[in-house]
A and B are shown apart, each in its own frame.
Chain A
Amino acid sequence: MMDFSVALLYVFSGMAVAGGLGLVLCKHPIHGAISLLFSMLSLAGIYALLDAHLIAALQVIIYAGAIMILVVYIIMLLDLGSADAQTVYRKAGLMGLPLLALLLLLLGQGMISVAGDAAAPPLAQGPVVCPPGVACETDCGDGVDQDGDNMTDCADTDCAGVAICFGTVEAVGANLLGPFVLPFEIASVLLLAGIVGAILLTGRKPGELEPSVPPPAIQPGSIADASGSSEAQDTEGAV
């Protein structure tokens, strides 16, 4: 009989793929968004099966709880109906399908070739083996700081690959403030830029808007239309 967690893995994976397909195939944006929500939740389930409970919880809070809600909110605010979404799909599908097939082929081939030699090493169960001449946390479960670096047990990055520490809050935190401290910190700069940008582009008070000018008229049937640009003098079509 199949292991229960393996069965769950298949269920979650199937749901994730089905949700993704739903996102692409649903005619109405809201239905698509709800499919995506299920996809996100299934991903959280997969993370939980991988013993990454913290990541699973964060996935649900951030993606299912915050991002998807905002996505749906904006779809509703803009009142996007299904009619808006149906125009160009066929052409896009014609172009996309061969690419998709190619990618699937490559991925499948790659997976079959990799499947034999399990890429990721299994998590260690026993004590941590220190590199010669370097002190490290040897026992990750005893509450004692062996190497004297003020980081005990799972909080020490030495323990990152040990089964009992994998995916714990301590281990994730130690990784974020250890090997991945640079992206972690730079993300804050990125977020600052995001906040300033959002305020800048949306936050003008009504009274401070530039004097309202009608946008320049688009000449009907101009070449600009053909290339999808409403700007002046796009002569791309002449090529």
Chain B
Amino acid sequence: MTALLDTLEGTLGGWGTTLLVGFVALAGLITVNAMFMVWFERKVAGWVQGRLGPMEHGPQGTLQTLLDVVKLLGKESIIPAQVDRKVFLLAPVVAFLPALAMLSLLPYDNNLTMTDVESGLLLVFAFGGVSLMGIFMGAWSSNNKFALLGGMRAVSQNIAYELPLLLSAMAVVLCAGSLNLGEIVAAQTGENGLWFIVMQPVALGIYLIAATAETNRAPFDIPEAESELVAGFHTEYTGMGFAVFFLAEYTYMFIVCGIGATLFLGGGDGPLLPGPVWFILKVYFLLFLMVMARWTYPRLRFDQLMNLAWKFLIPLSLINLLATAAVLKFVEVGS
């Protein structure tokens, strides 16, 4: 392994090696995560509904998704005649690329962050906004009313829920005193460190709800509500285009849960096991919550969705932020 890295460094230089290794690692993470999540989700669904879920291929149906992927890749990519070709083809890429950047910002362990920047948290949210543009481009260029409706819903929903998401994260930032994800973890793991889930339970609740909505997951999945909109913004996508949107969605779920684990659950902090393992475990715990939410709650209506964000979550997160700031100031003055 080291020898391989040395050879690479010899030919590509330090920068190139980091880039290449990082890229390969992220691509692996994205694929494995998506494949696992599809299987996991179907299994949990089966468990919730008292049935078995996929069982045919491999032990407990573990190979089912792999075969699904092969099937998907083998399918013909149809580009309908009336679409805006350039935008139609660009859209999945725009939706997916930010995910790579966001994954590279996550702190998998102390000192295991591919791009360690000072305002990493902000950058993650920033790229999330860009991916929304991809969804929107896909929806519009499809020239399909269901897709367009889905796209419009996605935009209003994402804009509405981005505020509580950011505001709840900001409460944590106030506690940690930094926007750097590594330092936020460090603030929770030091000697007197306390996971922020203890100090910021309200923020965690808001964060999880808003994150579920941001990833367009049930019960907030109105942008792709099958029963109303066929498949929402990706109605017209087939084959690879669809696969990329699909991949992006599962990657974003991983990312929001990764941020959640970083902000509230101490990142890679934990006894016995190495940091990255803890991190992944926490992420999948949060993902499990999201999956359970999907199979537990019915889909919200559009107005209920908007009311929840603007009239409840945003005021609540503002109050939380203000209270946090006030408490921190008093503690600072007191000490």
Contact = CB atoms under 8 A, between A and B. Distances in A.
B137 A169 contact: no
A65 B162 contact: yes
Interface in A68-101: 68-70, 72-73, 76-77
Nearest to A70: B159
B316 interface: no
Contacts of A58: 122, 126
Given A30-B140, A34-B87, A69-B136, A53 B127 contact: no
Contacts of B133: 34, 37, 64-65, 68-69, 72
A4 B155 contact: no
B263 to A, nearest CB: 16
Nearest to B123: A57
Contacts, number: 78
Given A4-B15, A60-B126, A60-B129, A66 B119 contact: no
B140 A65 contact: no
A64 B130 contact: yes
B137 A65 contact: no
Nearest to B178: A169
A79 to B, nearest CB: 10
Nearest to B132: A69
The A contact surface, by secondary structure, is: helix
B119 A30 contact: no
Interface in B107-153: 117-119, 122-123, 125-130, 132-133, 136-137, 140, 148, 151-152
Contacts of B129: 60-61, 64-66, 69
B153 to A, nearest CB: 11
B286 interface: no
B265 interface: no
B140 A53 contact: no
Given A31-B86, A53-B118, 10 more contacts: A34-B133, A34-B137, A53-B117, A54-B119, A60-B130, A65-B125, A70-B159, A73-B155, A76-B151, A76-B152
29 contacts: A4-B15, A30-B140, A41-B130, A53-B117, A53-B118, A53-B123, A54-B118, A54-B122, A54-B179, A56-B123, A57-B122, A58-B122, A60-B126, A60-B127, A60-B130, A61-B126, A61-B129, A64-B130, A65-B125, A65-B133, A66-B129, A68-B133, A69-B159, A72-B140, A73-B155, A76-B148, A76-B152, A168-B118, A169-B179
